[in-house]
């Protein structure tokens, strides 16, 4: 191939083989200039506009992402604060419930003590009433027995109530003054009868 190139170079001169003819260079330059002008006038602004729009979208996306991250951080802080507040509120509610339970227990104890005191007072009154009724019954029975005994001893019926009362009182006084037998205090027994 080298001989072909060398032969061609000798025929057309030295540089004609490497460079095209001048008219081709001129028309190629004109066409290139037209292409550059058309692309520069219509194509490049559109390309630049698309690139600018894309850059704006990317920038807006980055801003939105940054805002979303900030919003997420704020939301996490708010959520943490709400959780802390809920925990504090739950602790207060538990404390209030415990205080109310203690108060209810104290009130129940106080009510039970009041009820127990009322029951005890009622029982004491009932015992006292029964004791008084027993004393009256015993005094009446002793009086009747003393009257019956006196009738047998005297042999006649004591019709005078004042006389009967004096006889009964004298009998009780003698019984009170008599020595005790079987560990029974006659004085206390007689006082109960009166």
**pLDDT tens digits for the chain (194 residues)?**
455 455 555 555 555 678 889 999 999 999 999 999 999 899 889 999 999 999 999 999 999 999 999 999 999 999 999 999 999 999 999 999 999 999 999 999 999 999 999 999 999 999 999 988 888 888 788 777 877 777 777 655 556 677 777 777 887 788 777 766 555 555 555 555 55
* CA-based R_g, the chain, Å: 67
CA dihedral 162, 168, 170, 171 (to 10 degrees): 160
Is 132 a member of any domain?
A: yes
Number of domains in the chain: 1
Is 171 a member of any domain?
A: no
Is 6 a member of any domain?
A: yes
Would you state the pLDDT for residue 12? 52
Is 87 a member of any domain?
A: yes
Q: Do 187 and 173 form a contact (C-beta atoms < 8 A)?
A: no
Write phi, then psi, for 13 (nearest 5 degrees).
95, 180
Distance CA 176, CA 187 (A): 5
Distance CA 42, CA 49 (A): 11
DSSP 160: -
Name every residue whose Cβ is closer than 8 Å to that of residue 187 and which is 6 or more positions away in sequence. 176
Q: Provide the token pair at 143.
A: 């009086």
Classify the phi-psi angles of 155: left when phi > 0, otherwise alpha if psi is within -120 to 50, otherwise beta: left
Is 164 a member of any domain?
A: no
Is 183 a member of any domain?
A: no
Distance CA 107, CA 102 (A): 9
Would you state the pLDDT for residue 178? 73
Q: Provide the token pair at 87.
A: 């925990």
Is 181 a member of any domain?
A: no
**Nearest Cα residue to 147 out of 165, 173, 135, 174:** 165
**Nearest Cα residue to 192 out of 134, 144, 130:** 134
Is 190 a member of any domain?
A: no
Structural domain range at position 141: 2-157
């Amino acid at each position: 191939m080298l001989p072909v190139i060398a032969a061609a170079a000798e025929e057309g001169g030295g540089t004609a083989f490497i460079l095209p003819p001048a008219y081709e260079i001129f028309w190629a330059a004109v066409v290139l200039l037209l292409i550059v002008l058309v692309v520069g006038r219509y194509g490049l602004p559109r390309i630049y506009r698309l690139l600018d729009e894309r850059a704006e979208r990317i920038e807006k996306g980055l801003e939105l992402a940054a805002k979303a991250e900030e919003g997420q951080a704020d939301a996490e802080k708010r959520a943490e604060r709400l959780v802390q507040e809920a925990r504090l509120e739950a602790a207060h509610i538990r404390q209030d419930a415990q205080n109310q339970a203690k108060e209810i227990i104290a009130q129940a104890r106080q009510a039970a003590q009041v009820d127990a005191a009322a029951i005890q007072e009622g029982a004491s009154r009932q015992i006292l009433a029964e004791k008084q009724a027993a004393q009256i019954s015993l005094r009446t029975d002793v009086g009747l027995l003393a009257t019956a005994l006196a009738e047998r001893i005297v042999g006649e019926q004591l019709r005078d109530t004042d006389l009967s009362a004096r006889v009964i009182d004298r009998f009780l006084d003698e019984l009170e003054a008599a020595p005790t037998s079987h560990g029974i205090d006659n004085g206390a027994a007689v006082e109960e009868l009166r």
